[in-house]
Amino acid sequence: MKTYDNIVAHLGDKASFYLDHVSQKVTKDELRLPDKNIVDNVFVNSNRSPQVLRSLAQLYGHGNLRDTGYLSILPVDQGIEHSASFSFFKNPDYFDPENIVKLAIEAGCNGVASTFGVLGLCSRKYAHKVPFIVKINHNELLSYPNTYDQNLFGKVMEAWNMGAVAIGATIYFGSQESNRQIREIAEAFAEAHSLGMATILWCYTRNDAFKTDKEDYHTAADLTGQANHLGVTIQADIIKQKLPTTNFGFKNLKFGKFDDAMYETLTTEHPIDLCRLQVANCYMGKIGLINSGGGSQGESDMSDAVRTAVINKRAGGAGLILGRKAFQRPFKDGVELLHAVQGVYLEERITIA
């Protein structure tokens, strides 16, 4: 089956809803869209050094999506964030760090993101074969009770020493610890840039007050959009964010700054428009937005991943960072799923809404 027909089949009876939508709030003409010259056109006049530009060029220039402006990244830090046994029992091969790197290579990903331990153990064998992104902080799951805090697990120089082209980090925006995390990661990103590495920020919201009896606003477009805006402020070169599933976080939780007119002016209820608000908060797309693939749900994973990719691409995003849907299944099936996602970004008939 041809790629476009395959995409339509995965979208099912919602195909027209996703593929024919035209965004009329923040329009595509207002965005900086991904293309093969993204590094030159966005960063060449910035404060990023030539070494950082080279690292970004390596990341954008690798794998099946090379030189398109889009990214397909394999992230596997769930052994820390969700516990290793829970993450890998469906496919114990991934207790072995080398298999994580092999999956990224076989699937033609732009890069592989994982822990100091995983990438450090494989660095001499693979750092020159696939771009490494070292995740420098984590919420480890063994502390009891769990405090859901992101803590540094190593030094930026260690990532540089193992040949990484980028570091990644998470900030739990909205949490009691967020101010400390912002300071820590801003300093880490400045050091990474001084060493010539690019920076990727997981811009997650986290606060019990963000979830009510009626709605979970952790994935509200306005809250996640503001998290993105804070992320680009500390000079993340790429933003990772969950796909928005709702809106009106500031309004319905009654905090922060909001106006009914801002919602009417900037977005609608359509998933592509909600995601576009996230893109707009990334300096109108000049800093690439990659959405996460989410957890594995079983048989629906392929369709869910394709749908997420369609929403991200048509919103003006820069790709997907997808892990659990790929590594929590047999190696061959994981490769096939990642290829299906990449196919969305390579399909010229899937255009910006």
3-state secondary structure of 151: strand
Q: What is the distance of C-alpha 13 from the center of its chain?
A: 27
Residues 344, 338 contacting (CB under 8 angstroms): no
User: Six-digit token pair at 148?
Assistant: 């859901």
- In which element (H, E) is residue 265 found? helix 260-266
Could you give the residue ranges of the DSSP H alpha helices within 25-152? 38, 50-60, 78, 84-88, 97-106, 116-126
User: What are the backbone angles phi and psi of residue 74, rounded to the nearest 5°?
Assistant: -95, 115
Q: Which residues pair with 152 in a beta bridge?
A: 137
Determine the length of the chain.
Answer: 353
Token pair in block for residue 289: 């937005």
Euclidean distance between CA atoms 53 and 46, whole angstroms = 10
d(CA 279, CA 140): 29
* Cα angle for residues 141, 143, 147 (degrees, 5° grid): 80
User: What span, in angstroms and rounded, lies between the C-alpha atoms of 227 and 59?
Assistant: 24
Q: What is the CA radius of gyration of the chain?
A: 19
Q: What is the token pair recorded at 169?
A: 């980090």
Q: Which residues are catalytic?
A: 240
- CA–CA dist 246, 224 (Å, integer): 10
